[in-house]
Amino acid sequence: MSVAASVMSYGRTLADLLYPPACLLCGVHLNSSIAPLCDVCEAAMPRIGLPRCERCGMELPGAYDAHVICTACQRHPPSFDQACAPFAYAEAAREAIHAFKYQGRHRLGSWLAASMAQAAQRALPLDQIKAVVPVPLHWVKRRLRRLDPPVFLAHAMARALERPYVPLLRRIRWTATQTTLNPSGRIRNVEGAFGARSSRRLSGGVLLVDDVMTSGATVNACAQALRDVGIQPVYVVTAARTPTNQKAGEGLRRP
Ligand SMILES: [Zn+2]
Ligand SMILES: [Zn+2]
């Protein structure tokens, strides 16, 4: 072990003695502070399995293989090329994201980002991704919050994937919160709400980062803004996405 590593390990042991580590979700005692969650909470995280829609990354239980596009993406092809997320936005994953976003639990954010990096490495063509771009909050919201979740996650993703962090997007108008709107209301609410600056130094695609993908309206509007200034392909990674009620095999087709 190097001197730096042994000092860090000693520091961690001392910190663990002074502040006994506990699971950030259920509070159970942990033997070390390296992982933020206990084994039970980690196992309870609802992971998105295979097969999934090739465009939006939605899990499609019962589909006949992994090369399918869901009905929603067939009806309204998204402006992004492909999206992925490690978790379904439910149960323990929803709790973890809330604790990160609204209680400022940075260690949960770092853990979510590590899971997002693994999902991106498995699902996305990383050689086409030249920069990591956060979905921007409106500046008023940014001032009101202690933490800007997409910026935090995008910085962590940029480090994990060894790509530059480039905030190319901004909100050009205020939008109501998406949570109270139905799917068509969500699309109208964010249509034209984002502007992108072009980057002459950027030759290739980008990875757009947000915390949760619900209907996909926000990341879609962001991807469109990036395309409008000639940036493509656009890939998306979020910590979680909302499961839909799409039934197995319903309206699926091979791409
Ligand atoms: Zn726990
Ligand atoms: Zn889809």
Residues 50 and 40 in one domain: no
pTM for the full model? Answer: 0.85
Residues 36 and 72 in one domain: no
Distance, in Å, from the CA atom of 145 to the CA atom of 138, rounded to the nearest integer, reads 11
Residues 185 and 76 in one domain: yes
Residue 126 vs residues 26, 110, 135, 235, 248: alpha-carbon distances, Å: 35, 20, 19, 9, 29
Residues 16 and 142 in one domain: no
Say which CATH number the domain at 220 has: 3.40.50.2020
Hunting for tokens 């809330």 — which residue is that?
98
Residues 34 and 88 in one domain: no
Domain annotation covers residue 194: yes
How many of the other CB atoms lie within 10 Å of CB of 146?
A: 8
Tell me how far the alpha carbon of residue 22 lies from the centroid of ligand 1, in angstroms. 8
The pLDDT score that the predictor gives to residue 65 is 65
Which residues, 6+ apart, have CB-to-CB distance to 177 below 8 Å? none
Domain annotation covers residue 253: no
Domain annotation covers residue 147: yes
Into how many domains does the chain fold? 2
Tell me how far the alpha carbon of residue 116 lies from the centroid of ligand 1, in angstroms. 20
Residue ranges of the chain with per-residue pLDDT less than 70: 1-18, 63-66, 140, 176, 244-255
The pLDDT score that the predictor gives to residue 50 is 86
Tell me how far the alpha carbon of residue 170 lies from the centroid of ligand 2, in angstroms. 26
Tell me how far the alpha carbon of residue 23 lies from the centroid of ligand 1, in angstroms. 5
The pLDDT score that the predictor gives to residue 249 is 41
Residues 75 and 162 in one domain: yes
Tell me how far the alpha carbon of residue 56 lies from the centroid of ligand 2, in angstroms. 4
Task: Name the residue range of residue 220's domain.
Answer: 46-241
The pLDDT score that the predictor gives to residue 247 is 42
Residues 98 and 179 in one domain: yes
Residues 86 and 210 in one domain: yes
Tell me how far the alpha carbon of residue 62 lies from the centroid of ligand 2, in angstroms. 15
